[in-house]
Amino acid sequence: MKQIAYLCLSLILMSSALFAQEQEANALKKGHTNTNKFRQLYDEFSTPNMFRSASGAPGPAYYQQQADYKMDIVLDDKISRITGYETITYTNNSPDELKYLWVQLEQNKRAKDSKSPLIESSGVAPVMFPNAFTKEFMSEPLERGFNILEVNDISGKPLPHTINRTMMRVELPKPMKHGDKFSFSVKWWYNINDHVVEDGRSGYEYFPKDGNKAYVIAQFFPRMAVYSDVEGWQNSQFWGRDEFALPFGNYEVNITVPADHILDGTGVLTNRKEVYTKTMLERYETAKRSYDKPVLIVNQTEAEAAEKGFSEQTKTWKLKAENVRDFGFATSRKFILDMMAVKIGGKDVMAVSMYPKEGNPLWEEWSTRVVASTLESFSRMTFDYPYHKAISVHAKQQGMEYPMICWNYGRPEEDGTYSDRVKYGMMGVITHEVGHNFFPMIVNSDERQWTWMDEGLNTFVQYVAEQDFGEKYPSALSPQDKHFPSDRGPAKMIIPYMGGDQNFIAPIMTKGLNTYQFGNNAYGKPATALNILRETVMGRELFDYAFKEYANRWMFKHPTPEDFFRTMEDASAFDLDWYWRGWFYTTDWVDIGVKEVKKYFVSDEPNAYMREYMEERGVKRNQLKPLVYLVEEGSEDFKEKMKTKSLLENSKPLQEYIMDNFTPEERKSIKEPKYFYNVTFEKPGGLVMPIIVEYTYADGTSNQVTYPAQIWRFNDNEVSKAIASDKEIVSITVDPNEETADIDTSNNSWPQKIQQSDFDQFKEKIKG
């Protein structure tokens, strides 16, 4: 260490002089606020309180409301209509007095008088398909949206209520105090949308060849809004993009459908013996003991036979769920049904798939296996999956999630063939939507406000789960793929977005409705940020511990972004304010490069810098303490010293010159470097990141060093490192493994690599 101090003294003196000049210049400027990128996030964060602690954990006074539902639902398959009657029991666990309740009516987004289409900019396209032209200019709005028939108290007395688009305010007979419960009923109906033609997160798909419909149904009932310590009532209107904020509760739901339908949904099927045939029950019992492959409960031959029936009879399926935030179900006579068991934390969970024959052979082979593998991976990264099942339902152009059930795209051609794109797309969307059982169905963030908290976190764990799946089922991969080809997660995949037009990029910390490039912003960038945090900044062990702590702290609760940020730091001892600010609060990008490399030689004679210093102060050589003088290669001073042979170019004279200043005992711990460099790194990009550097030596070996991000804390533009090496450095590469999402790699190497275009131009000049 002493040797390095002596060797670098001249450089330190030079740096000190430059720093003093800079300080003097700054003294003449006006003052400024703290713009350092390592400043704490106190301005951005709320003050901790009794509800939410500074550690990121729920506080001692944390509360959340509860909404319990009892519903009777009838689905009329002939006219595609849902009629429902529900009783909601609402519990006020807040310390506040409530005068009214807010109920969500998301189906009103599709109503004739909906304002949602009016907020979207549109224009006349020069060329359009006939169906698109007709839909845009020649079609009347369909009869959609909730028809609220009654809103009554428990005694049947009408309650005053006001509908404001997708929200309904219900006036209470008297204010609810802390601990009060209030029950009321709502009766309604609505016409189900064709989700293939009209879009939407739920609805039906019509199959013209056999005349059947497959239903994936959600947002089908008036649902309580969230009341919390952060937002009060979360009654932000549903415009179509931002998803949902919902309280937890218990559900008892009876759903009446045609007798030849196969149905499943959120919760435990309490009357399985009534709705399953004897054969289905036997197969179900077999599936409960099958851990390696799915068991068909309804096979394709049986489903194809059912397609022709169109029963006039009905059957009621009864489902009961505890501590869930929502409810969804799927039903059709076309459905094939398979299941297998997966062991999660010592208990059995059923992985389930429902799909029409149009999904085969792809779905029968892989859907349920993907469900099972996803539950294992997400449980490892967070907590043991607490529910008894997870269902994947095949639905064209869909990808949507609800507690214990989700719908997913991925359809082969009519002849059963499919491309890698279709196969991987299906596997990826199932992984993603099943993963949503964890975020936000259990770790229940506010999707209406912070889309990234469910989509981004879920996409990050999806990447981990996809890689696990590829390792577990290598036969699922195409021959050219060594790993599952995830399309989000790795750093290099977000580069085109982060390096794009700043006019069309918003910070991650933006309400989803107001976000440009929704998929990149809410899914891709936060997933990449967390992946880099795990792999490059924190390391897997510390990251995984903190991430798991966040998930366990906030399971079945309502976290905010601050709760996530604070917990990740609290559980890891990593100060990450700089990281959250850069990646989540700004649209800065990564661009770090090698600006300059200077090679130095040691001299036993004063260099130019020291000679000037001595002359200014009248210092004689014999008055100086022993010093080491470094001379830059190629400088005038270097050329002069080459003539006088005062450079200590090889190890022996250098060693002798240095060692005279140390005792024999001290010499034992001193290295013997032969080469000295000053490497300057620049940061044209605004985003602070570690500098990952690979040094390659003349003997062909290399060494990788990671300088922590804090290296930029005093200079946000460039920093230098003095390097002493026993081997000659022949090349330097920044971010050699593409870990940081660096948008411009042209400055990442020294000597600078010749681009192919430059090389081609060079060859043309030679020819000329």
pLDDT of residue 24: 54
189-198, 387-396, 554-563, 669-678, range with the lowest pLDDT: 669-678
| Three-state secondary structure call for residue 758 | helix
DSSP for 289-305, please give it. Answer: T-SSS-EEEE-HHHHHH
Contact 366, 475 (CB under 8 A): no
pLDDT of residue 585: 97
> Cα separation of 136 and 351, whole Å?
41
Tokens, residue 223:
């649902």
Q: 143 pLDDT exceeds 70? A: yes
**Domain spans of the chain, in order of start:** 45-62+451-584, 66-450, 590-768
How far lies 38's CA from each of 468, 534, 585, 709, in Å? 35, 20, 13, 9
How far lies 686's CA from each of 217, 529, 707, in Å? 45, 15, 17
The type of residue at 718 is: E
DSSP for 326-345, please give it. Answer: ---EEEETT-EEEEEEEEET
Tokens, residue 520:
């990149």
pLDDT of residue 17: 45
| Residue 124 pLDDT class (50, 70, 90 cuts) | confident
- Among candidates 52, 92, 90, which has minimal Cα distance to 554? 52
Tokens, residue 241:
């993009």
pLDDT of residue 6: 39
Query: What angle separates helix 540-554 from helix 561-570, to the nearest 10 degrees?
Result: 130
Residue identified by tokens 């063939």 is 417
**CB-CB neighbours of 451 under 10 Å:** 26
> Cα separation of 613 and 125, whole Å?
74
- Among candidates 100, 223, 107, which has minimal Cα distance to 170? 100
> Cα separation of 223 and 246, whole Å?
8
Query: What angle separates helix 525-532 from helix 452-472, to the nearest 10 degrees?
Result: 60
| Residue 29 pLDDT class (50, 70, 90 cuts) | low
> Cα separation of 754 and 742, whole Å?
18
ω into 48 cis (within 30 of 0): no
List pLDDT tens digits, range 80-102: 999 999 999 999 999 999 999 99
Name the DSSP letter for residue 206: E
| Residue 2 pLDDT class (50, 70, 90 cuts) | very low
Confidence (pTM): 0.91
> Cα separation of 404 and 576, whole Å?
34
> Cα separation of 361 and 412, whole Å?
8
Say if strands 249-258 and 232-233 run parallel, antiparallel, or are unpaired.
unpaired
Q: Rounded mean pLDDT of the chain?
A: 92
Q: What are phi and psi of 602, to 5 degrees?
A: -90, 140
Burial class (CB in 10 A: 0-12, 13-18, 19+), 557: middle
- Among candidates 532, 423, 564, which has minimal Cα distance to 481? 423
Question: Higher-confidence residue: 761 or 7?
Answer: 761
Residue identified by tokens 């790699």 is 745
pLDDT of residue 768: 45
> Cα separation of 706 and 704, whole Å?
7
Tokens, residue 395:
């639905």
Region of residue 22 (phi > 0: left; psi between -120 and 50: alpha; otherwise: beta): alpha
pLDDT of residue 756: 47
CB proximity list for 468: less than 8 A, separation 6 or greater: 373, 376, 377
| Residue 113 pLDDT class (50, 70, 90 cuts) | confident
| Residue 5 pLDDT class (50, 70, 90 cuts) | very low
> Cα separation of 233 and 226, whole Å?
6
**CB-CB neighbours of 751 under 10 Å:** 10
Contact 381, 457 (CB under 8 A): no
How far lies 175's CA from each of 170, 172, 227, 738, in Å? 12, 6, 15, 59
Q: 651 pLDDT exceeds 60? A: yes
pLDDT of residue 379: 98
List pLDDT tens digits, range 568-599: 999 999 999 999 999 999 999 999 999 999 99
pLDDT of residue 52: 97
> Cα separation of 767 and 761, whole Å?
10
Q: 11 pLDDT exceeds 50? A: no
pLDDT of residue 25: 55
DSSP for 444-474, please give it. Answer: ---TTT-THHHHHHHHHHHHHHHHHHHHH-G
Fold of 66-450: Immunoglobulin-like (2.60.40)
Q: 762 pLDDT exceeds 70? A: no
CB proximity list for 108: less than 8 A, separation 6 or greater: 114, 145, 146, 163, 165, 166, 238
pLDDT of residue 759: 45
pLDDT of residue 12: 44
| Residue 229 pLDDT class (50, 70, 90 cuts) | very high
pLDDT of residue 115: 76
Q: 18 pLDDT exceeds 70? A: no
List pLDDT tens digits, range 512-523: 888 899 999 999
* Average pLDDT over every residue of 451-475: 97
Say if strands 389-394 and 347-355 run parallel, antiparallel, or are unpaired.
parallel
List pLDDT tens digits, range 164-193: 999 999 999 999 999 999 999 999 999 999
Percent of the chain whose pLDDT exceeds 90? 79
Q: 292 pLDDT exceeds 60? A: yes
* Average pLDDT over every residue of 295-317: 97
pLDDT of residue 27: 53
Region of residue 448 (phi > 0: left; psi between -120 and 50: alpha; otherwise: beta): alpha
CB proximity list for 662: less than 8 A, separation 6 or greater: 2, 3, 670
